Amino acid sequence: MGQEAVVRSLDAKRPARSEADIKRGVPTSFHDVIKSKYLLLTTFTKDGRPKPTAIWGVPEGEKLLVITDDGSWKTKRIKNTPRVTIAKSGSLGKPKSDDVEGVARVLPKSETRRVYNAVLKRYWYHAPWFYLHSVVRGGIDKVHVGLEITPPVG
């Protein structure tokens, strides 16, 4: 059984969070949030202040892959403090679920192209301008880096 089939079978066993669950206060799961098309990623400064950012993400098994600018403030904060929270959001970052905890890491540059292609595949309708914007700024591998967000251990 391939990885995609395993993920689909896991998805079938995990019911979506219903309106009744939300009203009863059933917590949002990491897996439920990462399936959302639009996400709100909150990174934290060294002194603990939250810095929310609207992002695009691609679920890959139990992980979330994100593409961002190399050297952005969010990558600097993740290198200092890997603790993050993510929530479902609207396209402009308005939260639509509770936050869930996660652990983020900046992926090696060798992974950038794979993550970039996964993001383009999921958000294909934005691909032409997203790709052009990357090329004009110096190329995909030069200006971008991949992030991986996983649920916290324990």
Q: How far is CA 113 from CA 23, 68, 136, in A?
A: 41, 12, 16
pLDDT of amino acid 34: 92
pTM for the predicted model, two decimal places: 0.75
35 pLDDT exceeds 70? yes
Asked which of 44-48, 142-146, 149-153 is least confident by mean pLDDT, the reply is 142-146
How many other CB atoms are found less than 10 A from the CB of residue 16?
8
Q: What residues contact 66, with CB distance under 8 A and at least 6 apart?
A: 41, 55, 56, 57, 58, 115, 119, 146, 147, 148, 149
Structure tokens at 33: 């949030």
Q: Which of 23-27, 65-69, 94-98, 100-104 has the highest mean pLDDT?
A: 100-104
Q: What residues contact 104, with CB distance under 8 A and at least 6 apart?
A: 41, 43, 78, 82, 83, 84, 147, 148, 149
1 pLDDT exceeds 50? no
Mean pLDDT of the chain, nearest integer: 80
